[in-house]
A = this chain, B = another copy of it.
Amino acid sequence: MARKTKAQSSPAVKAQLIEAQDRFIASWGRMGSVWGISRTMAEVHALLYITGKPMCTDEIMDRLSVSRGNVSMSVRSLLEWAVIEKVRLPGDRKEYFQAEQDVWSMLRAIARERIKREVDPLLDALDEIGELAPQIGSHSPEDVIELQHRLDDVREGFGLITTLAHKFAGPRGAGLHTAAKLLAKAPVGRSTKHTSKRSTRKGTGR
């Protein structure tokens, strides 16, 4: 094997690397539960993202200590979310998986999927309820008018959110990054909080 100019990691550095990856995986996994996806699904995604290399089912099982079935199901969901993709290495029968490496496109995928699961069903239900409820007529009691108004208010609020989501996070959307930049520039409010505590990136500029 031709020894390229690549620096070799000392065992100590390698251990630290693994440790850092594991911590990232654990944090992302914890988030997973908050986001309503299973811990394992989030962990598999974290593993593939943070290592950046394509991995097969067995590697994932070993690294995360989870069952084959669990990996299979998690991987399927991640593929549906379109945050990882299948890779086939020639001369190898196994399937490998690789994570989307661009953070913004990853965030977009997450946003898209969440809107789909969280907002769309609510809007559908609201439409249905609005039809089912007593309609407003010339002599409607206050109750009925208020109900319809409240339903409409919620519908309008979430409707606007969905429109924006499609516009910026949809498959053909302008991109979350664009939206974020637009908003960041917008001349409103006073707070300019949360500057990242540290930035590790040094001379290595991209």
Task: Judge whether B152 and A200 touch: CB under 8 Å.
Answer: yes
Q: How many residues of A contact B (CB 8 A)?
A: 100
A183 contact set on B, CB distance < 8 A: 164, 167-168, 179, 182-183
Copy total for this chain: 2
Task: Judge whether A118 and B27 touch: CB under 8 Å.
Answer: no
Given contacts A156-B103, A172-B189, A194-B159, contact A150 B27 (CB under 8 A): no
Task: Judge whether B52 and A136 touch: CB under 8 Å.
Answer: no
Q: How far is A8 from B19 in the complex, measured between Cα atoms in Å?
A: 69
A123 contact set on B, CB distance < 8 A: 194, 196
A128 contact set on B, CB distance < 8 A: 23
Q: How far is A162 from B167 in the complex, measured between Cα atoms in Å?
A: 20
A54 contact set on B, CB distance < 8 A: none
Pick the 7 closest A-B CB pairs, nearest first. Answer: A20-B133, A174-B188, A27-B125, A174-B189, A103-B157, A7-B141, A103-B153
